[in-house]
């Protein structure tokens, strides 16, 4: 991988002169910090993938209902109720995502990650020891709140500790960890889907979050955040440690100067963005919302949470084949995410999103064609190909780019509000799609993925025209809000130039 070619330990201009920090690709400590923070992605992925396998054990009580302990063997519920219960996770994440508008302003990045991990511990334990459907749903909502907070906070943290050269690669860690977790959770859930044993599936992420809280104390706070609260000495020490004691003077001065320019500018609220206080800022925030929306709206939820049931129906009730296809998808997703680490620096953020959406459109079409034609022996491989292509290409762009885009398009004073809007968009559509999927599947049957083919192709066209490329962008080189207002006043309303002007922010 290109960003691993050299580190600060090997990049020096002379034995006595340290390398300038903006020339550094990465350091071991930067790598460690990004990895620790991205454990949040692992926990999020776990909660996305875990419900898929044990659904019938939990909801349909296939091993009976007689219990020999205070905890019931199962939690009987209909498929619709199961959909709402599973949907409590993204609904909680929607709340958590909106809360980051305030949390990322009030608290440091590390504190927000500890808050998220604490919510996850509470929610995971509630689900693990639930004695009713309501208690299980509340647990799912709490881990959703954790994921909503962690998604925005981890993305901002990684962006703020990384150099321009490695931001894309480190930003992909969240998606890598998430997809690895989905695979591991589904593998473990496959062999733990029995009476009582299924409860341990939800205890595991609580343990992981406890470990993460301990590890967070080994990473530094971001220099940008420390400068924003005028802790300049601490910010310098943080940057020195992140850059392996390279020459940080130019980079540190840029960070301080950027924060100085923002001192007289009040923090931008969600309402300020909605009412177009700065039209270009509002447009960039809208792009963030759309890109984050396509992390979920394209159909990856049903493909992750309900895929065993849907594919088993397509395969004429062959649950074992459906399960094997789902596990193959999860394995392919991990490969795709590692490929995306290279692609994101080669073809850029926009290129990855376009490739991803076009591939998902094609995969959805393959699924529909193979499912609706009454030749399962001949067209079954087309469904399998379509399902794997759908998930594989999702991981090339839609799984990763949304977690990178907000810090690259929005200045610091608008970042909490813009990131909260983007994260809320992500989880809102996760909730809507996952909750409505049983109804969509019931009404459209094997034609269900026609809907996602249309949605993904529409996203491809929109982003092709309007999405700016942000690869390699210096996140401390945003124009101030005042400069944006001047540009807005000088630009005629409705001008196409307004959309495209300075899109390399």
Residue 9 falls inside a structural domain = no
Boundary of a domain, candidates 199, 219, 239: 219
Q: What is the per-residue pLDDT across 53-72, written as a single tens digit (0 to 9) for each?
A: 787 788 888 777 776 778 88
Boundary of a domain, candidates 179, 204, 219: 219
Segments in 275-347 forming alpha helices (H): 279-293, 300-305, 307-314, 319-346
CA distance 68 to 156: 48
Residue 77 falls inside a structural domain = yes
One domain for residues 196 and 325: no
Residue 475 falls inside a structural domain = yes
Asked whether the beta carbons of 394 and 339 are under 8 A apart, the reply is no
- List Cβ<8 Å contacts ≥24 apart for 483-490: 484/278, 484/280, 484/281, 485/277, 485/278, 487/280, 488/278, 488/279, 488/280
CA distance 259 to 269: 18
One domain for residues 209 and 294: no
Residue 242 falls inside a structural domain = no
Written as six digits, the tokens of 294 are 């396509």
* 213: exposed, middle or buried (Cβ count in 10 Å: 0-12, 13-18, 19+): middle
Q: What's the rounded mean pLDDT across residues 476-496? A: 47
Residue 406 falls inside a structural domain = yes
Boundary of a domain, candidates 175, 196, 219: 219
Give how far Cα 495 sits from Cα of 273, 488, 498, 500, Å.
Answer: 19, 10, 6, 10
Asked whether the beta carbons of 267 and 413 are under 8 A apart, the reply is yes
One domain for residues 325 and 180: no
Segments in 68-108 forming alpha helices (H): 79-106
**Any idea which of 6-10, 81-85, 286-290, 391-395 has the lowest mean pLDDT?**
6-10
- Confidence at residue 495, expressed as pLDDT on a 0 to 100 scale: 35
One domain for residues 400 and 477: yes
Range of the domain at 384: 276-505
Residue 264 falls inside a structural domain = no
Q: Calculate what percentage of the chain has a pLDDT beyond 70.
A: 86
One domain for residues 281 and 394: yes
Query: What pTM did the predictor assign?
Result: 0.78
Residue 248 falls inside a structural domain = no
One domain for residues 207 and 316: no
Q: What is the per-residue pLDDT across 422-474, written as a single tens digit (0 to 9) for each?
A: 988 988 998 888 778 878 888 888 888 999 999 999 999 999 999 999 887 77
One domain for residues 67 and 136: yes
Q: Which of 290, 288, 231, 247 is nearest to 411 (CA)?
A: 288
Asked whether the beta carbons of 299 and 455 are under 8 A apart, the reply is yes
| Residue 211 burial (CB count, 10 A) | 12
The distance from CA 140 to its chain's CA centroid, rounded to whole angstroms, is 18
Adjacent-strand bridge partners of 14 = 17
One domain for residues 418 and 340: yes
Work out how many domains the chain is built from and give that number. 2
One domain for residues 450 and 307: yes
Residue 86 falls inside a structural domain = yes
One domain for residues 405 and 492: yes
One domain for residues 490 and 363: yes
| Residue 289 burial (CB count, 10 A) | 21
One domain for residues 338 and 425: yes
Q: Can you give the CATH number for the domain in which 366 is found?
A: 1.20.1250.20
């Amino acid at each position: 991988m290109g960003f691993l070619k050299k580190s600060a330990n090997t990049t020096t201009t002379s034995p006595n002169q340290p390398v300038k920090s903006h020339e550094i690709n990465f350091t071991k400590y930067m790598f460690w910090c990004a990895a620790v923070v991205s454990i949040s992605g692992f926990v999020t992925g776990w909660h996305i993938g875990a419900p898929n396998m044990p659904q019938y054990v939990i909801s349909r009580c296939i091993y009976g209902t007689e219990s020999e302990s205070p905890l019931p063997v199962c939690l009987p519920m209909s498929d619709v109720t199961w959909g709402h219960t599973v949907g409590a996770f993204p609904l909680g994440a929607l709340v958590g995502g909106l809360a980051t508008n305030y949390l990322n302003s009030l608290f440091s990045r590390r504190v927000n990650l500890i808050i998220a991990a604490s919510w996850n511990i509470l929610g995971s334990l509630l689900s693990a020891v639930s004695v009713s459907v309501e208690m299980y749903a509340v647990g799912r909502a709490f881990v959703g709140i954790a994921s909503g907070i962690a998604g925005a906070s981890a993305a901002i943290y990684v962006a703020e500790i990384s150099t321009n050269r490695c931001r894309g690669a480190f930003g992909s860690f969240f998606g890598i960890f998430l997809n690895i977790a989905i695979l591991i959770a589904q593998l473990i859930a496959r062999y733990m889907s029995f009476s009582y044993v299924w409860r341990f599936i939800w205890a595991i992420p609580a343990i992981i979050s406890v470990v993460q809280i301990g590890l967070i104390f080994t990473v530094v706070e971001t220099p940008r955040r420390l400068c924003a609260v005028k802790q300049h000495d601490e910010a310098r020490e943080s940057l020195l440690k992140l850059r392996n004691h390279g020459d940080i003077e130019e980079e540190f001065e840029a960070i301080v100067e950027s924060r100085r320019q923002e001192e007289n500018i009040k923090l931008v609220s969600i309402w300020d963005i909605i009412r177009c206080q700065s039209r270009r800022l509002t447009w960039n925030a809208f792009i963030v919302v759309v890109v984050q929306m396509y992390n979920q709206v394209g159909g990856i939820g049903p493909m992750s949470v309900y895929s065993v049931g849907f594919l088993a129906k397509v395969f004429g009730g062959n649950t074992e084949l459906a399960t094997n296809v789902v596990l193959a998808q999860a394995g392919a997703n991990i490969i795709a995410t590692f490929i995306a680490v290279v692609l994101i620096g080669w073809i850029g953020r926009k290129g990855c999103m376009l490739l991803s959406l076009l591939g998902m459109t094609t995969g959805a079409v393959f699924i529909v064609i193979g499912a609706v034609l009454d030749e399962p022996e001949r067209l079954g491989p087309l469904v399998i190909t379509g399902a794997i292509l759908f998930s594989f290409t999702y991981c090339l762009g839609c799984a990763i780019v949304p977690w990178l885009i907000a810090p690259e398009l929005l200045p610091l004073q608008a970042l909490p509000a813009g990131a909260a809007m983007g994260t809320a968009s992500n989880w809102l559509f996760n909730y809507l799609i996952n909750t409505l999927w049983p109804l969509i599947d019931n009404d459209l049957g094997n034609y269900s993925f026609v809907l996602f083919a249309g949605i993904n192709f529409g996203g491809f066209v929109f982003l092709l025209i309007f999405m700016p490329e942000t690869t390699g962008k210096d996140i401390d080189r945003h124009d101030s809000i005042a400069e944006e207002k001047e540009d807005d006043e000088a630009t005629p309303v409705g001008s196409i130039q307004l959309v495209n002007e300075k899109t390399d922010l």
